[in-house]
Chains A and B, each alone.
Chain A
Amino acid sequence: GEDVEQSLFLSVREGDSSVINCTYTDSSSTYLYWYKQEPGAGLQLLTYIFSNMDMKQDQRLTVLLNKKDKHLSLRIADTQTGDSAIYFCAETSGSARQLTFGSGTQLTVLP
């Protein structure tokens, strides 16, 4: 079945760049998503990329997509303490194109 994998933890210093990586399996996914979850809250869409794109930039966020390797990454420039959260990569799959999520990467920003 479909599977999305991410590393579980990442720590960076405030002001540095963060790079969160993800691999996915469903090559027919039309969109790939990055969601952010703050403690005790639901998931908030950060950004997404269409499968025919290699890169998408949105202010401090850069998404890179390598379709050949089924690899997706999220780069956060000038990481701030407010960026500390869990970041989920997700692909669309199945008959209802429902989201299949990775296990999430806990990003900790150190002062």
Chain B
Amino acid sequence: NAGVTQTPKFRILKIGQSMTLQCTQDMNHNYMYWYRQDPGMGLKLIYYSVGAGITDKGEVPNGYNVSRSTTEDFPLRLELAAPSQTSVYFCAGAPTENTEAFFGQGTRLTVV
């Protein structure tokens, strides 16, 4: 099992550009999450999904969109990149609520 895989690992975007951060898991997890980590801060929840076809907003959803068409994939979309979205993004999966979350290696995004 590869676990939770994120691509790309690094990306530089210009203001106003769009991109999709990919996240895929092969552990058959129902629950998937997107977090962002800013320097000196904990992880903030952007969006989450409790199963295919179901998504919901987290603490900091503005400027992002997600979809969950399959159990395996949970892409995060930035439509109009802004400097405030410079961060490290982590995707995580968990089999059910209240269980261990498995994290991807992160995507470091810089918006200039």
Chain A interface residue number, banded: 20 to 34
* Residues A101 and B58 in contact in the complex (CB < 8 Å), given A30-B98, A42-B106, A96-B50: no
Interchain CB contact under 8 A, A92 and B97: yes
Interchain CB contact under 8 A, A45 and B42: no
The CA of A13 and the CA of B31, in the complex, are separated in Å by: 40
Please tell me if B74 contacts chain A, counting CB pairs below 8 Å: no
Residue-wise interface mask of B (94-107) relative to A, using a CB-CB cutoff of 8 A (1 in contact, 0 not): 00011011111110
In the complex, chain A residues whose CB is within 8 Å of the CB of B106: 40-42
Interface residues of A in 28-62 (CB under 8 A from B): 30-31, 33, 40-45, 48
* Shortest Cβ distance from residue A98 to the other chain B in the assembled complex, whole angstroms: 5
Chain B interface residue number, banded: 20 to 34
Interchain CB contact under 8 A, A42 and B105: yes
Please tell me if B45 contacts chain A, counting CB pairs below 8 Å: yes
* Closest A residue, CB atoms, query B33: A98
Interchain CB contact under 8 A, B98 and A101: no
In the complex, chain A residues whose CB is within 8 Å of the CB of B2: none
Interface residues of B in 35-76 (CB under 8 A from A): 35, 40-43, 45, 48, 50, 56, 58-59
* Residues A4 and B42 in contact in the complex (CB < 8 Å), given A42-B104, A95-B56, A98-B33: yes
Interchain CB contact under 8 A, B103 and A42: yes
In the complex, chain B residues whose CB is within 8 Å of the CB of A8: 40
* Shortest Cβ distance from residue A111 to the other chain B in the assembled complex, whole angstroms: 25
In the complex, chain B residues whose CB is within 8 Å of the CB of A102: 42
* Shortest Cβ distance from residue B77 to the other chain A in the assembled complex, whole angstroms: 20
* Residues A103 and B50 in contact in the complex (CB < 8 Å), given A48-B100, A96-B97, A97-B97: no
Interchain CB contact under 8 A, A104 and B56: no
* Shortest Cβ distance from residue A45 to the other chain B in the assembled complex, whole angstroms: 5
Q: Can you list 22 A-B contacts with CB-CB less than 8 angstroms, sorted by A residue number? A: A4-B42, A8-B40, A40-B106, A42-B90, A42-B104, A43-B43, A43-B103, A44-B103, A88-B42, A88-B43, A92-B97, A94-B45, A96-B31, A98-B33, A99-B101, A100-B45, A101-B42, A101-B43, A103-B40, A103-B41, A104-B41, A104-B42
